[in-house]
Amino acid sequence: MVNISHETAEDTQRRLLHVMTEARVRFFPGTYAFLEFPLSLFPGTARPDALALVRDDKVWSQLVPCADVEQELFAVFRFHFPDGADNSGFVGWLAMRLKQRFGTGVFVTCGQHREEGGIFDYWGVPASLGADVFAEIQALVDGQVDGEEGVSL
């Protein structure tokens, strides 16, 4: 469910920091890349290990494990949220936080799994920042904000 709420920036920050502590995060080992193939080669070229498969008018793009340094490589993590959690604004909020802390942009690809809380997000950051970003995300999930314990509403 997509929530609609009106709140101050401080209220949003507090709510989303709390939502982070309820999230289930998975950090994927290794590196990933988006590999493209023409629409005409679907479904035969789609890989079973793809985390995401999206298309535009000309190509399919699949997010797959990849170590080829000629590709743009990403560290990838995923969020699932509990059913009913108000995570509205989460993508923009966390993207801005990562930009401010690490100077990086992100990509986010979403899917839906009704039995696991609804919408889930795959996030990618440059592979070179993976360890630092993963540590930041884990700290937020653990309720540690700027070295302080115990995020609460």
What's the CATH number where 90 sits?
3.30.1360
Residue 73: predicted pLDDT: 99
Bridge partners of 52? Answer: 63
Q: Alpha-carbon distance 137 to 131, whole Å?
A: 10
Q: Which of these ranges, 44-48, 70-74, 118-122, has the smallest mean pLDDT?
A: 118-122
Tokens of 29: 């080992």
pTM (2 decimals)?
0.90
Q: Is residue 151 part of a domain?
A: no
- The mean per-residue pLDDT over the stretch 130-146 comes to 95
Candidate ranges 2-6, 94-98, 110-114; pick with highest mean pLDDT? 94-98
Tokens of 87: 């995570």
DSSP letter (8 states) at residue 39: G
- Looking at 22, 52, 70, the residue that finishes a domain is 70
Tell me: do 10 and 46 sit in the same domain.
Answer: no
Residue 43: predicted pLDDT: 97
Tell me: do 12 and 79 sit in the same domain.
Answer: yes
Q: Alpha-carbon distance 98 to 27, whole Å?
A: 16
Tell me: do 65 and 97 sit in the same domain.
Answer: no
Residue 147: predicted pLDDT: 52
Tell me: do 91 and 135 sit in the same domain.
Answer: yes
Q: Is residue 153 part of a domain?
A: no
Q: Which residue has the higher pLDDT, 84 or 134?
A: 134
pLDDT over 80 (residue 148): no
DSSP letter (8 states) at residue 75: E
Residue 150: predicted pLDDT: 44
Q: Tell me the pLDDT tens digit for each residue of 52-105.
A: 999 999 999 999 999 999 999 999 999 999 988 899 999 999 999 999 999 999
Domain that holds residue 54: 32-70
Q: Is residue 110 part of a domain?
A: yes
Distance in angstroms between the alpha carbons of the first and the last residue of the chain: 21
Tell me: do 66 and 89 sit in the same domain.
Answer: no
Tell me: do 54 and 126 sit in the same domain.
Answer: no
Residue 149: predicted pLDDT: 47
Residue with tokens 């401010």: 100
Tell me: do 60 and 89 sit in the same domain.
Answer: no
DSSP letter (8 states) at residue 114: G
Q: Which H or E run contains 24?
A: strand 24-27
Q: Alpha-carbon distance 139 to 58, whole Å?
A: 40
Q: Tell me the pLDDT tens digit for each residue of 21-43.
A: 999 999 999 999 999 999 999 99
Exposed e or buried b per residue across 65-95, where buried means at least 16 C-beta atoms within 10 angstroms of its C-beta: ebeeeeeebbbbbbbbbeeebbbbbbbebbb
Torsion of CA 54, 58, 64, 70, to 10 degrees: -140
Tell me: do 15 and 78 sit in the same domain.
Answer: yes
- Looking at 44, 70, 96, the residue that finishes a domain is 70
Residue 3: predicted pLDDT: 64
- Looking at 48, 70, 92, the residue that finishes a domain is 70
